[in-house]
């Protein structure tokens, strides 16, 4: 466990020892804050529904920008060989990278807590719905991160990693939309609806935190971490 924590600390330091981490956090806060304020004063309701409605699409670009260098830069610079020589299993390395990115996501979301604090002073928002929204965002973000890390592990090019990750998570998200489902046969539509990020995220946003939604997101994370571990185990870096 200590080895994993050391790697997690190393990864987090790499974000905040360079301008990248601060730039990403600043952009995230500016976009979310500005878009929320625009909708908040129009609707004049003490609700974060507009915030959580936009967050999947904002993170769809922010998180791939964070994960794109996780493996790609290691391979490009050659430090991956040093990393893999440590007395630690491949899965533990993958887990450390996932945890560091997940903590980074947690830090970004924690900085948005000023929003529920503000609307609580202006009205009486449903705190249960807000807590469910943050939980759903963490689970959705974890899925984005797992996909991004896997894509980063199969390419040396960070731009390719970014674009591919955005395409995959976007496909997973919109496959549950009605205009997509209506164009598919019924049985395929049901599969698409189940596999969609949006189906489970919207379910949690309603304040209904079901075990099936949590299991779904955990399964997605574990599946892509499994793929990531297999790529790392193959040692096909060159």
Structure tokens at 220: 């997605």
Residue 44 reports pLDDT greater than 80 = no
Burial profile 118-145: b = 16 or more Cβ within 10 angstroms, e = fewer: ebeeeeebeeebbebbbbbbebbbbbbb
- State pLDDT tens for residues 131-146: 999 999 999 999 999 9
- State pLDDT tens for residues 160-201: 999 999 999 999 998 877 767 766 677 777 788 888 999 999
Structure tokens at 14: 């790499």
Cβ proximity of 154 and 72 under 8 Å: no
CB atoms within 10 A of CB 151: 29
Q: How far apart are CA 222 and CA 228, in angstroms?
A: 10
Q: How far apart are CA 182 and CA 219, in angstroms?
A: 26
The 8-class DSSP code of residue 112 comes to G
Which residues fall within 8 angstroms of residue 154, CB to CB, at 6 or more apart? 231
Helical spans, DSSP H, in the chain: 2-16, 19-43, 49-67, 72-77, 79-83, 90-110, 114-122, 127-153, 158-174, 178-181, 186-195, 197-205, 211-234
The 8-class DSSP code of residue 124 comes to -
pTM of the model: 0.90
More confident: 109 or 89 = 109
């Amino acid at each position: 466990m200590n080895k994993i924590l050391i790697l997690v600390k190393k990864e987090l330091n790499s974000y905040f020892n360079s301008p990248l981490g601060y730039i990403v956090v600043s952009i995230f806060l500016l976009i979310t804050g500005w878009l929320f304020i625009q909708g908040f004063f129009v609707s004049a309701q003490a609700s974060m529904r507009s915030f959580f409605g936009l967050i999947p699409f904002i993170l769809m670009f922010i998180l791939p920008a964070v994960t794109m260098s996780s493996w790609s830069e290691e391979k490009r610079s050659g430090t991956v060989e040093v990393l893999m020589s440590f007395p630690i299993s491949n899965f533990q390395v993958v887990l450390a990278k996932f945890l560091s990115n997940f903590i980074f996501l947690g830090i970004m979301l924690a900085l948005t807590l000023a929003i529920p604090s503000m609307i609580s002073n202006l009205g009486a928002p449903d705190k249960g719905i807000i807590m469910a929204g943050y939980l759903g965002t963490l689970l959705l973000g974890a899925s984005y991160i797992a996909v991004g890390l896997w894509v980063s592990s199969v390419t040396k090019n960070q731009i390719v990693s970014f674009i591919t990750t955005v395409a995959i998570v976007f496909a997973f998200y919109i496959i549950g939309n009605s205009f997509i489902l209506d164009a598919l046969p019924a049985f395929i539509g049901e599969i698409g609806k189940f596999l969609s990020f949006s189906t489970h995220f919207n379910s949690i946003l309603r304040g209904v935190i079901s075990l099936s939604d949590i299991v779904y997101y955990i399964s997605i994370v574990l599946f892509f971490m499994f793929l990531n571990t297999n790529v790392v185990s193959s040692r096909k870096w060159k």
